[in-house]
Amino acid sequence: MNTWVFLHKYRIKYWKQFWLAAAFVTIETTCDLLQPTIVSKIIDIGVADRRPDYILSQGALMVLITALGALAASIRNVIASKVSQNFGSELRGDLYEKIQMLSFTNIDNLNRTSLVTRLTNDVNQVQLLVNSLMRISLKAPLLCIGSLIMAINLNPHLAVILIFIVPIILLLIVITIKVGFPRFAQVQTALDQVNAVMREYLSGIRVVKAFKQFEYEQEKFAAANQELQGKSVGAIRLMSVFSPSIALTVNLGIVMVLWLGGLGVNTGQIQVGHIIAFINYMSQILVSLMIVFLIFNNFVRAKASVIRIGEVFKQHNDAKWIINHFAFQPVNKGRIDFENVSFSYAGLGGPTVLRDINLTCLPGQTVGIIGATGAGKTSLVNLIPRFYEVTAGFVKVDGHDITEINPGQLRDKIALVPQQAVLFTGTIMDNIRWGKENATAQEVAAAAKLAAAHDFIISFPEGYNTKLGQGGVNLSGGQKQRLAIARALIRKPAILILDDCTSAIDIVTEEKIKQALNEYASQLTCLVVAQRISTVLDADKIAVMEGGTITACGTHTELLQTSNVYCEIVQSQRGRR
């Protein structure tokens, strides 16, 4: 898909307003173009022939034309602002929606933090271009060509000078665009780099300080900053040659007009007013060319932004979303089957993360998954809510292949506590309510009690109304994990997945949660991923994972007999319970 295709929709929607604005710009420019001619008439007829009545009538005409021009300019501004604001907000909305639809694989490809810049800065750049397109960008070429025509029309003798001046200016512009385009693009890339370094530093500021890596980060920033400086200087240098050389050419033209005109006035061939009007038109040409250059700069920036936005729109959601999904009955069963499942983050042909997984979790059962770090536990459970697509085999919920189930309905039945607790800005109450929007305060408290979070929450002066910072920065690791558990429990799902979410909780508190969960989990299918044996000890079934496969499966006592790896894990953790 072409990068620019996403703009098509807005083009169809706004072309009428665009041409309306163009019509008003044309009126405005025509008014601008008439002025010097009227001035020349006032001088050549009104002043030369001493006719005050003529001066007055032409003066009134000038005022009228100026007023008309101002009116057209105002209307054009209103249209341009309205269209560009609407366009910007729609584009941002569409982009946001698209990002919501992307699969995890797509988002992994795009890099999360850059998505923020795309939504904000990049959309703004394109919006600015649209605004300037409807205003000065339309006016500049009209003014330039109009001035040329008016000048030739006014005095063909003086217009001979334009034959020399115009090609030189055109050549200058072509050279500058050829040389300048890549330079301005480089400035944009360097600016992006500075942003990226800054973003990474700010999001990891605690780690940077903890590891005393400030100097390293500073050097990284300095390098990016220097690069930006270098590239900007290059681009500015070009600008600093370009503008004066155009001004010089035009001014040379003006000198020639004065000289030729002076000779013409002496011989009576040319009138003084013509010379003044001619110089006026040449100045307008100069101004419009300068504007063209500014727009060009705008355009380069917006082009980079359009490409970056287009990249998001271009993302092909690799999940096979079937529109006509099988209507999934929300019966609270929650059986899970993995049948010969293989999986790779890079899709088919990528390095295999899971291989030939066969596992069944029956309703009411608690199944533990244990294994070394990197064994593929998280990858396995992330397949159940269909965060990623399997590369082979089937994942079934209640006997139905999950690719045939509406993802929204599927996820409604599942509550997942991720390995890293993610909380949002807002109160503790809000965060727990994420699990169930219309939960009452009692329900929230009940869920918090199950997750052993109630006590620490009410120990805060503001209790459940305590405000959390971004990502829950004002909580300890274990507190965050318990809130994340409460958020999942409040849903009363058919399937509960706990991905190593008690790793930061002390054994005594973990035991409390386990006790509380015992009864709760008897109603649903529960998958518990853990590093600690103690977490999964009482599970109905424990799967031992090694290098992406399940090497043993059974109860604690069975595994002690059958699995060497399991015995080793138990050995290594003995005494830690």
- Interface positions with ligand UTP (CB under 6 A): 345, 353, 371, 373-379, 419, 500, 531
Helices (H), 133-155: 138-154
Question: In whole angstroms, how close is the CB of 374 to ligand UTP at the nearest point?
Answer: 4
Which 377-406 residues touch Mg ion, going by CB under 5 A? 378
Indicate the residue among 150 and 375 with the shorter CB distance to Mg ion. 375
Q: What is the DSSP letter of 438?
A: T
What phi and psi values does residue 514 have, to the nearest 5 degrees? -60, -45
Indicate the residue among 297 and 531 with the shorter CB distance to ligand UTP. 531
227 torsion bin: left (phi>0), alpha (psi -120 to 50), beta (else) = alpha
Residue at token pair 């909780």: 505
Question: In whole angstroms, how close is the CB of 123 to Mg ion at the nearest point?
Answer: 35
Query: What stretch of H or E contains 495?
Result: strand 495-499
419 binds Mg ion (CB under 5 A): yes
Question: In whole angstroms, how close is the CB of 543 to ligand UTP at the nearest point?
Answer: 12
Cα dist from 449 to 193, 442, 454, 455, 512, whole Å:
47, 10, 5, 8, 10
Query: Which range of residues in 271-279, 374-382, 404-412, 509-517 is near Mg ion by CB under 5 A?
Result: 374-382
Helices 477-489, 441-450: crossing angle, 10 deg rounding: 120
Residue at token pair 């890293």: 420
186 binds Mg ion (CB under 5 A): no
Residue 450: how many other CB atoms lie within 10 Å: 22
Indicate the residue among 161 and 353 with the shorter CB distance to ligand UTP. 353
- Binds 310, which of Mg ion, ligand UTP, none (CB < 5 to 8 A, cut-off by type)? none
Indicate the residue among 169 and 359 with the shorter CB distance to Mg ion. 359
Indicate the residue among 121 and 420 with the shorter CB distance to ligand UTP. 420
Question: In whole angstroms, how close is the CB of 546 to ligand UTP at the nearest point?
Answer: 10
Indicate the residue among 312 and 353 with the shorter CB distance to ligand UTP. 353
Question: In whole angstroms, how close is the CB of 528 to Mg ion at the nearest point?
Answer: 12
Question: In whole angstroms, how close is the CB of 355 to ligand UTP at the nearest point?
Answer: 12
Question: In whole angstroms, how close is the CB of 353 to ligand UTP at the nearest point?
Answer: 4
The size of the interface with Mg ion (CB under 5 A), counted in residues, is 2
Indicate the residue among 71 and 372 with the shorter CB distance to ligand UTP. 372
- Binds 355, which of Mg ion, ligand UTP, none (CB < 5 to 8 A, cut-off by type)? none
Question: In whole angstroms, how close is the CB of 474 to Mg ion at the nearest point?
Answer: 25
DSSP characters over 360-404: EE-TT-EEEEEE-TTSSHHHHHHTTTTSS--SEEEEEETTEEGGG
Residue 372: how many other CB atoms lie within 10 Å: 14
The DSSP bridge partners found for residue 359 are 338
Q: Is-contact 367 526, C-beta < 8 A?
A: yes
535 binds Mg ion (CB under 5 A): no
Q: Is-contact 397 335, C-beta < 8 A?
A: yes
- Alpha-carbon distance 327 to 269, whole Å? 89
- Chain-centre distance of CA 34, in angstroms? 46
Indicate the residue among 62 and 552 with the shorter CB distance to ligand UTP. 552
Query: Which range of residues in 414-422, 457-465, 542-550, 569-577 is near Mg ion by CB under 5 A?
Result: 414-422
SS3 (DSSP) at 340: strand
Residue at token pair 């830690």: 576
Contacts to Mg ion by CB under 5 A: 378, 419
